[in-house]
Amino acid sequence: MEAEDVRAVMDAIRRIVRLLRVSARASEGLVGISGAQLFVLQQLAEAGTCSINELAERTFTHQSSVSVVVRRLIEGGLVSRRPSEVDGRRVEVSLTPEGHALLRDAPPMAQARLISGLRKLEPARRAALAEGLATLVLELGLDAETAPLFFEDEAPPRRHQGKRHHEET
């Protein structure tokens, strides 16, 4: 029984990781940004102008991880940030026209599909899955790490727009 259970869990993890990786590669190939960046961009498009904390809630990710992705999107000209008109201490982010244009050609992201699937689970089953995975993470010694968005640490180099600059040798 143990071998069957371990195999079933490993197969499920493999299927989920494959879904996420294929989705991330599609993002990279079609629009030139990482799957994590595209997922954040899509969530921002749905939410409209919002704070980093609100975006973290929408992506079910720690604020620090979302902040890193948003910084890359700002550097790429796809997102802008500005102080809130209501509360000057609050910073809000929104899509730029370039961000909106990129989304027109973008594929749907698997993260949204995964979130939808998790929400469809019965609450007791979802809680048991959360507890089991938390225990596994603890056993693996990964509990001290902040979980980044999927594959963001493998982000592709940003596509350069305009003229290319060559280093002189």
Q: CATH topology for 2-144?
A: Arc Repressor Mutant, subunit A (1.10.10)
DSSP 153: G
pLDDT attached to residue 88: 75
Give the residue extent of every domain in the chain: 2-144
Contact 73, 99 (CB under 8 A): yes
Six token digits for residue 154? 């493998």
Phi, psi of 138 (to 5 degrees): -65, -45
Closest C-alpha to 121, from 108, 130, 112 = 130
74-87 residue pLDDT tens: 999 999 999 888 88
Contact 63, 54 (CB under 8 A): no
What distances in angstroms separate CA 34 from CA 20, 85, 104, 107, one per listed residue?
11, 31, 16, 12
Mean pLDDT of 80-99: 89
Q: How confident is the model at residue 145 (pLDDT cuts 50, 70, 90)?
A: confident
For residue 49, which amino acid is it? Answer: T
Q: Indicate whether 37 pLDDT > 70.
A: yes
What is the percentage of the chain residues whose pLDDT exceeds 90?
67
